[in-house]
Amino acid sequence: MKIVFHSFIIAALVLGACTQRDKKGKTLDTPTSGSITIAIDESLKPLLDAELDTFHRLYVNAHIKVIYTSEADAMTKLLQDTARMVIVTRKLRSEEMETFKALTIKPHQVTVAKEGIALILNRAVQDTSFTISQIKDILTGRITKWNQLDPKAKASPIEVVFDQPTSGILRYLKDSLQIDSLPANCFAVQNNPAVVDYVSKKENAIGLIGVSWISDEDDSTTNAFTNAIRIAELSNDGAEYFQPYQAYIAQKQYPLVREITMIGRETRTGLASGFIAFVAGEKGQRIVLKAGLVPVTMPIRIVEINRQPLF
């Protein structure tokens, strides 16, 4: 598997050195040059901003225009050929594969990272532990007030906020928790930063955001966000609770984990293929690691630190 993948990277870079033209003589993009438009799930913005910044610094003739949008809108743009590639948290569905098959296009799908969905709370909230069963009850309307979770809490109504009505976060939760529809107290507030802002000001709110917004401890935006809110810890069975840290995601202890997948519709080796190869390669995977997420195409080493005194 690794030999085949590395061969793809080498081929992409070699082909990138050759000038390719279409039937009209127009210069085509290559794996390291040219211009394309791609669409990305907005919840993944911090990670992909870092990946794109490094890629553009290395390949100055490459120009990737990015549309940060909802997952559903990104997939629509891919199918309508207004985006050469998308980066989302699911793979193509069977009906989407059939659409490409009819166009004689074989999409290129590569999973490059794992990240979690974080539940965030106002800093005034004291009890920050939830079971997945409680989360499902909240998202189905069976639990609507805080004192149903904690008898000591106020009887204030729970508000659940997320980024966009057609977001990948919402789709993942509906799929994984088998939820058909959401109650009226669940609503969208435009994007992930808006979710953080809303929760920081509303004591009764629960926010749902991509972990990449709060996982890079060297990022000033991450630090500002984590100082403004609390991060909930989750449990499958109520025995052990985990926050969405890198190690817990890698060891499958954190319950809400999704895969980040790059999907290209190129019929040749162009700039989208080059960017996929970069993110899935060593440099791109190191960026994933630094961002506090879990690389998929390279091994990671988990170190447990013993904080007990030696004497």
Q: Is 172 helix (H, G, I), strand (E, B) or coil?
A: helix
Question: Residues with Cβ < 8 Å from 272, sequence gap 6 or more?
Answer: 36, 38, 84, 85, 108, 264, 265, 266
Please name which of 117, 124, 41 lies closest in space to residue 77, comparing C-alpha atoms: 41
Tell me if 230 sits within 8 A of 123, measured CB to CB: yes
Q: Look up the pTM and report it.
A: 0.87
E strand map for 189-308: 205-210, 229-231, 233-235, 257-264, 294-295
Q: What is the CA radius of gyration of the chain?
A: 21
Superfamily of structural domain 2-114+259-295: Periplasmic binding protein-like II (3.40.190.10)
Q: What residue ranges do the domains of the chain occupy?
A: 2-114+259-295, 115-250
One digit per residue, the tens of pLDDT, for the chain of length 311 reads 555 555 555 555 554 445 566 555 577 999 999 999 999 999 999 999 999 999 999 999 999 999 999 999 999 999 999 999 999 999 999 999 999 999 999 999 999 999 999 999 999 998 899 999 999 999 999 999 999 999 888 999 999 999 999 999 999 999 999 999 999 999 999 999 999 999 999 999 999 999 999 999 888 889 999 999 999 999 998 889 999 999 999 999 999 999 999 999 999 999 999 999 999 999 999 999 999 999 998 765 544 445 455 44
Q: Is 8 helix (H, G, I), strand (E, B) or coil?
A: helix
d(CA 119, CA 231): 6
d(CA 39, CA 148): 40
Let me know if the fold of 2-114+259-295 is the same as that of 115-250. Answer: yes
**Which CATH architecture does the domain made up of 115-250 adopt?**
3-Layer(aba) Sandwich (3.40)
